Amino acid sequence: MKGVYCLLINCRKQQSIRIGNLGIINFRKGFYLYVGSAQNSIEGRVSRHLRSKKRKFWHIDYFLSNKYVNIDHVYCIAAKKKMECNIAKKVRAAAQPVMKFGSSDCRCGSHLFFVNNQERNLTDFLFV
């Protein structure tokens, strides 16, 4: 399936993490939402994110490789790649972006957002 996915990520400890060529980023304890797309196999991409051992290629790989960071929930939808940026814009209106994270191939300011409230039903505004 081709599509767009969102990862609800729990950062269990405030910390500074080196994120590839973005350098060191300070992450607060709490929940983050990452918006990504997979136009070949969403199942393969999400499965890769869930693996603990992998080559670090994308910004999200560096974040997820930290021992205090884990994926709490995965949201997926069959969609074209442009939907990824549309969702990122909606999330940005309700959450704090981690600037330049995951958005080097588009004009969005970020594709990772500090949401800090895992109880919020994110599907209400993500996939509308």
pLDDT at 116 (0 to 100):
74
Q: Where is pLDDT greater, at 81 or 49? A: 49
The predicted structure's pLDDT at residue 13: 96
User: CB atoms < 10 A from the CB of 7, how many?
Assistant: 22
Minimum mean pLDDT among 96-100, 109-113, 122-126: which range? 122-126
For the segment 84-110, the average pLDDT, to the nearest whole number, is 90
- Tally of structural domains, the chain: 1
* 66: DSSP letter: S
CB 5 within 8 A of CB 121: no
Q: How far apart are CA 54 and CA 111, in angstroms?
A: 21
Q: Render pLDDT for 17-50 as a digit per residue (tens, 0 to 9).
A: 999 999 999 999 999 999 999 888 889 899 898 8
User: Locate tokens 């409230």: which residue?
Assistant: 117
Contact criterion met (CB below 8 Å) for 117 and 78 = no
What's at 34, amino acid-wise? Y
Residue 123 has pLDDT above 60, yes or no: no
Q: What's the domain range around 90?
A: 3-126
pLDDT of residue 120 exceeding 60? no
What's the rounded Cα separation, in Å, for the pair 34 and 110? 9
